[in-house]
Structure 1
Amino acid sequence: MHTGSVSTKELSYICDSMKNEETLVKLCVHGAVESQNPQLKQFFYQLSHERFQDYNQLMNVLDHHSGQTQYS
């Protein structure tokens, strides 16, 4: 049964995932800026946007957990 709280191991995984997503966003933006091919440029910008959305979802999980910790 899951109580809704996030374990230390899960928090560590989320933090690692956020670092990975941040790296992917940076690499995709760099690829878009450096690309001379308009289709490839668009692909990298779209991919960076998707990765940034994933980063924000992970941040929301941490914010939610932080709010539970503060007010529980």
Structure 2
Amino acid sequence: MKPMTAKELEYIADSMSNEELLIKQCTALAVTGTTPALQNLSLQFLQTHQNHYDSLLHAIQHHQQMAPTQPQQ
């Protein structure tokens, strides 16, 4: 497996930002939801987006282990 390209890393960083926003929105809905069903659904979505974020973070961490420490020629 080769290290990720700068474009791939940029895409992952953007995806992580999107997931963070969705996590915040789901958290807000879980706290302010007007019915238990809505609160439960938002908590399920929250867990899904947290899992997505964690997967993306793992990909970045894995890349750090593979990435060259010196500029490539």
State TM-score, norm by structure 2: 0.89
In the alignment, which residue of structure 2 is the partner of 1:42?
40
Higher relative contact order (CA 8 A, sep 6+): 2
Considering only aligned residues, what root-mean-square deviation do their CA atoms show, in Å? 1.3
- Percent of aligned positions with the same letter in both sequences? 33
SS in 1 for 2:27: helix
Q: Which has the higher helix share?
A: 1
The runs of 5 or more residues in structure 1 that have no matched partner are: none
SS in 2 for 1:36: coil
The runs of 5 or more residues in structure 2 that have no matched partner are: none
State TM-score, norm by structure 1: 0.90
Q: Does 1:22 align with 2:49?
A: no
Give the whole-Å Cα distance in 2 for the aligned partners of 1:10 and 1:35: 36
Segments ≥4 residues shifted beyond 2 Å: none
1:9-50 deviation digits (Å, cap 9, x = unpaired)? 000000000000000000001001001200000000010000
